[in-house]
Each structure stands twice: as structure tokens, then as C-alpha cells.
A and B are shown apart, each in its own frame.
Chain A
């Protein structure tokens, strides 16, 4: 199924309902389809074989994505925060792209031969809208729908491919057609180049839920927009929720009362942040969504009922589920295996594998990375509890192998963060002649607090096994996170200089 059909179904059924609102502008479902059809025609006229989107989020992103779908060419949203040379390097990897945007800051950008550029605003020009689109465009359902360059925290960006069949399978398995009430609105604050930004457009469309787009996130702006637009649902990455929590505590503003569902994902959520968020937004249901670019977004959900049960339980096993990513969505299977590939029993930590119709696991150059039975290695470590709840334990690549012992940075980071003087901490492997790898910690102190490396080592030794005590401790003013809140471990490794 081509994802353009999702928009066709909604535009046929509720043509005059509002599809999206952004910066004072609104588009109906009918208008969104007409603009997408006009842009699809423009793609054909240019002979474009891909559509690159290089701008902040906004109505043009949704138009561009559906236009690419109608034409059967890949939609390639690019990270506009990258340096000019990084963007040029990514553009050079695209096949005859039509580049949408940017409206500012990229004068003289060098583009590959055969590329054409168009301003995002032109995609929303009423004069260009195609009032008589083919009623039901049906381009190749097996075509690549979206190409996303993964953030590349450990190497050069890989081009992950999601085909229409994967994205449509995700939408059909998780969303009921037209299930949103007419007063519902979802606040989209993630950038267009993140898989959650793609999924948000598709699932909001199929639910016929109005999208309110915040082009660039900041906590005060998010709170103001949520209140002004009477937003009922939202998706946030942990860093965003942490900043909203901070803003609410320090400004004394009341949280928007209309919010009834908040989903979060895209990284590990610190327990204090989610617990405080559940107090701020006590009327809202919280959902933790775990997914990867390669899996067409969400593969596991911890739903609002799970959150409430965990928060109010005296049973430590149930309470611990607040730190779980929940259970697989329909049609998705999750399995934990050891290093040799043998499936592990409940409770045992290993590598997380996933299988299902929404799982792509395909890259532009490397091809499909699914094994012969269709399983994809997420490279996340984790375990599954006896009730089927999935817990994550960091990335396999981040595991420290110290003298043959596998050590997960996560548990040491958690213990360091519990120290009263510590605001944030990251733990990583440091080269060691004695152990192969030793443990390095980079610590950020709370304002006006002090401690020593010796004190922190003692703190860890009192709480964990001796092999978990960091050999090296560095103090820094802040840790390097990317704009989606992902720790840039590669940069931290450089901090240890000759040791790493």
C-alpha cells in the first residue's frame, strides 16, 4: 500500500476538516492533498528521482512527503543543523533530487548535477494547488517511501530505507481509521528528519487528527502553543520533557489542561523526569514508545494503564515497569538472544531482535540486514520480564569489555547520577593495557556542588561490584548531546585523549 492512499482516504472522507496548523496557517485535508498533487506534478516535470527536504518542520514537510509518495520517489528529510559541508556530502549521495527549501542561510549551497531547488513556501502557494488530482493515485507500493540518514553517533551516516509497505503496515497495525475526535490536536515538536516526525504525519493523517506543528522546539514555546491550540496529544523525546518539567517548576506556569495523552521515546527517560511529568500532567495518559528508524518507528508500547499501575504499585517488579518500554505492538515480535544467537529466557540480558511487517532493516548501500528468518538486530541490549515487558540496557556498541567481563555503562551512570553533587554522567570504554578496556566516567556537577574523583569511585564501590568502579573520572561543564538528546559518545572518547 502506498502511503499516499492514507491521505486520499481521509481527504475523501473529511475534506474540510483541518489537517494542520502552523504559525497562523491552516490546511484542510483537501488542501493538503491538492498541494501534494501539485508538488508531485512538479517532481515529474523536473524528472526528479528523490525529494530532499532541508528546512525546519512545517506544512511544507507534510506536503513534500505526500508529494514524494504520489510520485513514487523517496522523501529524504535532511538535518538542517548539520554543517554546510555535511549537508553537501549528503546531497551528493541523492539521485537527481528536487531540493525543497531552505528559505534561509544556504545561499550558494553546492548541489549535485541534475538537482533542482524550490522554496518551501512555493509548495503552499494556492495558485499552484492541483484542484483536480487523480482521485486515487496508486504508485508502486514497494517503492522506497523515505530515506533517512541515521544520526551517525558512531560513524558516517547510513541511509536507512523505509518502503511504503513498511510504513503502511505500521500505520494500519496501530491506528484505527478516523479514530480521532474532532476536537483532538497533536503537537509535533520533533524535527522532520527524525522517524518520529515521519510517523507523526502518517498516523495523525490516518486517525484524521489535526497536527499542530512547532517548527523549532523550546519549552516555553511548546507550552504556549499547547495552550493556544488546545492541544490534546503530544510526542516528546526525553530531553524535551525534561526541559518542559524544568520550565514548569521554575516559571510557575500551569500546564495546559487540554492535554490528555503524552507519548515519549527516542532515548532512555530518566525516572525522576517521568515521575514529575506524571504529576504536572496528572490528567494525561502517558505512553512510552520504543522504536528505531529501521523499524518504521514504534515497536513496543508502555501504555497509560501500565504507567498508572507501575506508579501506584507496591510490587517492585510492577513498579520497575516505569523503566520498561512496554510490550510489542500487534504483528511485531521481540526476542532477546545471546552473543551466539541462542534465544534467552525471561530476565536474561542479551541482544534485542525484532521481526514484523513494519521492520525494514534495509540500507541504501549495505542492502537488507534482516537474517534469513526476517529478524533485525536492533543492537540494543535488553531483557524481557516474565509478563512480556521489554527493558533496555543501552547499546551493544557501548558495552565495555573489561578483562573479558561485559559491563553496561547504564547502571554505572545511574549510580553516579544518584550522587547528590552529580547533575549528569556518562560512562564509556577507555583503552587499557591491563584490561583491554577500562571504565571512564565524565561527570557534570550540580551548580555550587563539589566532589572528587576519589569520592565518586568510593560511591560506586559501595553500590556496585568492584569491577564497575571507573578507573578514570573527568569533570566537565556539560555533556555533548545532539538535538534529539542522544549522547555523542564519539566526542566523549576524544576527551580521554591518548587513553581512548
Chain B
């Protein structure tokens, strides 16, 4: 379990995925990638972990993912083969509204 707050960066324990929390209420939650809890950027990964086939949809860089209740939003800053889940429930890609370039 980790306290999620905006700006927090995490990395997957089982693939190359990296994320940053964009929006989160103050809550303790288990953010997983590939079915395994994500790690702080400074933690070293124990070798040999594997992606749970039930969480192997993958992440895409630049996409935003939200939980089913739309409380937590994360930005994928590096893609990977695992997919994201909050407290065991898969997170979904958030569709962005296109804006014209203004600078």
C-alpha cells in the first residue's frame, strides 16, 4: 500500500512501465502493474518477477489512466507490457478532449 498524491512517480516491478500520479484524493491504495504492486523510483527490483497474464494488456506512454470510480488519475511516462490496476480493479484509458494549439 502506498499513499497516492499528485506528483508521486512509481515504476513497475515486472515491466518497463513508469507512471506519475496526476490526481488523487489522500488515500492509501495498492497501485499495481502487471498484477504486482508498483515500486518507488528509488527501490531496486527483485529479479525474476513475471507479469500476471490477467494484467498483460500493456501501458502506453503519454496515456492517462483512471480508476473505475474516477478518483485516481495517473500519466504513463514510460510504456510497458503490464497493465495498471488500483486495488485489484483495472484502470482504463481516459479519453482526452482535443484543444487547438494556443502557443
Q: Which residues of A contact B (CB under 8 A)?
A: 1, 5, 8-9, 12-13, 136, 138, 141-142, 165, 172, 174-179, 186, 196, 199-200, 203-204, 207, 209, 233, 235, 261, 263, 265, 285, 287, 289, 297-298, 301, 303-304, 329-330
Contacts and interface: CB of A to CB of B under 8 A. Distances in A.
B1 to A, nearest CB: 22
B101 A261 contact: yes
Contacts of A207: 101
A9 B77 contact: yes
A5 B100 contact: no
Given A1-B20, A138-B9, A172-B75, A177 B61 contact: yes
Nearest to A234: B101
A141 B75 CA distance: 15
Nearest to A330: B97
A1 B7 contact: yes
Contacts of B97: 330
Contacts of B100: 261, 263, 285, 287, 301, 303-304
B102 A301 contact: yes
10 contacts: A9-B61, A9-B77, A9-B78, A174-B99, A176-B62, A178-B62, A200-B103, A203-B103, A297-B102, A298-B102
Nearest to A206: B62
A228 B90 CA distance: 48
A263 B103 contact: yes
Given A12-B61, A329-B102, 19 more contacts: A1-B20, A5-B77, A8-B77, A9-B62, A138-B9, A141-B7, A174-B99, A174-B102, A177-B61, A177-B63, A200-B103, A203-B103, A263-B101, A263-B103, A285-B100, A287-B100, A297-B102, A297-B103, A303-B100
Contacts of B77: 5, 8-9, 136
A203 B61 contact: no
Contact of B99 (A177, A199, A329): A329
A330 B9 CA distance: 23
A362 to B, nearest CB: 18
Interface of B: 6-7, 9, 18, 20, 22, 41, 61-63, 75, 77-78, 96-103
Contacts of A263: 100-103
B101 A12 contact: no
Contacts of A176: 62, 96, 98
Contacts of A265: 102
Contacts of B20: 1, 5
Nearest to B42: A138
A207 B103 CA distance: 12
Contacts of B7: 1, 141-142, 165
Contacts of A196: 103
Nearest to B22: A172
A37 B99 CA distance: 31
B60 to A, nearest CB: 9
A489 B18 CA distance: 51
Nearest to A288: B102
A263 B63 CA distance: 26
A265 B101 CA distance: 12
Given A9-B62, A178-B62, A301 B99 contact: yes
A186 B101 contact: yes
Given A1-B20, A138-B41, A177 B62 contact: yes
Nearest to B7: A141
Given A9-B77, A165-B7, A233 B101 contact: yes
A176 B103 CA distance: 14
A12 B16 CA distance: 12
A430 B91 CA distance: 62
Nearest to B95: A176
The residue among A8, A177, A179, A235 with the most chain B CB atoms within 10 A of its own CB is: A177
A329 B101 CA distance: 12
A177 B94 CA distance: 13
A186 B102 CA distance: 11
Nearest to B98: A176
The residue among B9, B22, B96, B101 with the most chain A CB atoms within 10 A of its own CB is: B101
A13 B102 contact: no
Contacts of B101: 175, 186, 203, 207, 209, 233, 235, 261, 263, 287
Contacts of A13: 61-62
Contacts of A209: 101
Given A12-B61, A141-B7, A172-B75, A289 B41 contact: no
